[in-house]
Structure 1
Amino acid sequence: MDRTFITLTGSSQAALVDRDIAHISRAMRLSLHGDLGGPILPPAYWRQRLYTLLDTGYLSHAQLCSVDSLLLQLDQFAAEPQLAWDTLTPAVAALFPPPYPVDNSRLV
């Protein structure tokens, strides 16, 4: 069976790159902040994704600026000391009192 490759026009390629940049900008920050175990995906993963976009060679000036901004965000994340979860204050069970009186005698 012969393989046929799909070639994309310039506008289709630009739209795919725009969608990829938008996805990375949304997901990268959440992924880097992660959870108690640290980042969900490491900065090296996101850096590789951005370098792959740069290697396509089809980026407009605005797309280059967006990728550069995301790379700078990665550099800033790597430069900042990470929070030590042990030193954070414990969460309070109820931050605000209930707005109405609570009758504990009705609880069974």
Structure 2
Amino acid sequence: MDRTPTMLSGSSQATLHDRDIAHIARVMGISLRGDLAGPILPPVYWRKRLHQLLDSGHLSHAQLCTVDSLLLQLQQFETAAQPALDEPAPSAAAVFPPPYPSRSSRGV
């Protein structure tokens, strides 16, 4: 069977780019936050995906702006100080107010 590559019309390609950009926008942050082992997919992966979109050369102005915004988010993630995993978490005891009013607030 002879397979020839199919060419997408401009609107079909734009729709695919829209879907790809929306997908990346939805999952990139979650993936980068990951879990205790670190990011699920590293920043290198997301940068590659975004640059592939840019290299397609068929993005609208709005799509270019969104990809640029995602690249900036990626850069901010990489430059932010990552918390050390060997430090204990801050105590949650001080976060909650006491279950009863203190003597000074009762006027005693």
TM over 0.5, shorter chain: yes
Gaps (5+ residues) in structure 1?
97-108
Partner of 2:15: 15
Following TM superposition, the consecutive aligned residue runs of length 4 or more in structure 1 with deviations greater than 6 angstroms are none
Asked if 1:28 corresponds to 2:54, the answer is: no
Partner of 1:100: none
Shift of 1:60: 0.2
CA RMSD of aligned residues (A): 1.8
Shift of 1:85: 2.2
Asked if 1:48 corresponds to 2:75, the answer is: no
With structure 2 as the length reference, what TM-score do the two structures score? Answer: 0.80
With structure 1 as the length reference, what TM-score do the two structures score? Answer: 0.80
Shift of 1:83: 1.1
The alignment of Structure 1 onto Structure 2 pairs a total of residues equal to: 94
Distance 1:78 1:39 in 2: 11
Deviations 1:20-51 (A, max 9, x none): 00000011000000000000100000000000
Deviations 1:56-83 (A, max 9, x none): 1100000000000000001000101111
- Per the alignment, in what secondary structure is the counterpart of residue 59 of structure 1? coil
Gaps (5+ residues) in structure 2?
97-108
Structure 1 residues 64, 88: closer, same or farther in 2, change over 3 A? Answer: farther
Moved more, 55-64 or 83-92: 83-92
Structure 1 residues 74, 10: closer, same or farther in 2, change over 3 A? Answer: same
Structure 1 residues 12, 24: closer, same or farther in 2, change over 3 A? Answer: same
